[in-house]
Amino acid sequence: MTQSLLAVCAAWLMVGIFAMALKHKIGAWPRFCASLAAYKLVPDSLTKPAAGVLIILELATIVGLLFVQPLGFLIAALLFASYLIAIGVNLARGRAFIDCGCGDEPTGLSQWLVMRNSVLVVIAAVGASMQANLTLGLLAIGLCLSVVAYLLYSALDQMISNFSLHRRLYAEEA
């Protein structure tokens, strides 16, 4: 029961994360493509196709995670790991000014994003190994707990965005 509950909470937390990110990617397509191009990891001519592939993968992830499927967790782990590597490469290049492309509020790259994505990779990888025996009661409790987890995640994400904004403002004053 506990393992099933953890799997549901982890899956639906990530559904919320990917849904919000996807809303941004689709709703602010030009800005998302610009963010992706700024990473300088794919040739400019492949930026829009790469952005389209990411959207398709995130949609597939959402569908898989809604039904608490191991494949959904695996794709989520791969996506979070890819984002983690892209952020790490650009931080190593000294390019922290790039908008991460994660959501509506522009957020520069930072070690906080590296830590956040590292935790998300672990959660997704562990989720892939869990078996979920879904019952109506489990789904109801899982929904409530995943909403709480998502609210905590959103608060953390806002702190990361605020850190990025503060860093930019402070850099302009110095």
Residue 134 is which amino acid? L
Per-residue pLDDT, 166: 66
Q: What is the pTM of this model?
A: 0.85
Residue 106 dihedral angles phi and psi, to the nearest 5°: -55, 130
- Out of 16-30, 52-66, 72-86, 121-135, which region has the weakest mean confidence (pLDDT)? 121-135
Give yes or no for residue 147 having a pLDDT over 70: yes
Q: Which residue has the higher pLDDT, 45 or 156?
A: 45
* Better pLDDT: 80 or 143: 80
**Alpha helices of the chain — where are they, by DSSP H?**
2-27, 29-38, 47-66, 70-92, 111-129, 136-173
Mean pLDDT computed over 48-74:
96
User: DSSP 3-state assignment of 106?
Assistant: coil
Mean pLDDT across the stretch 47-60? 97
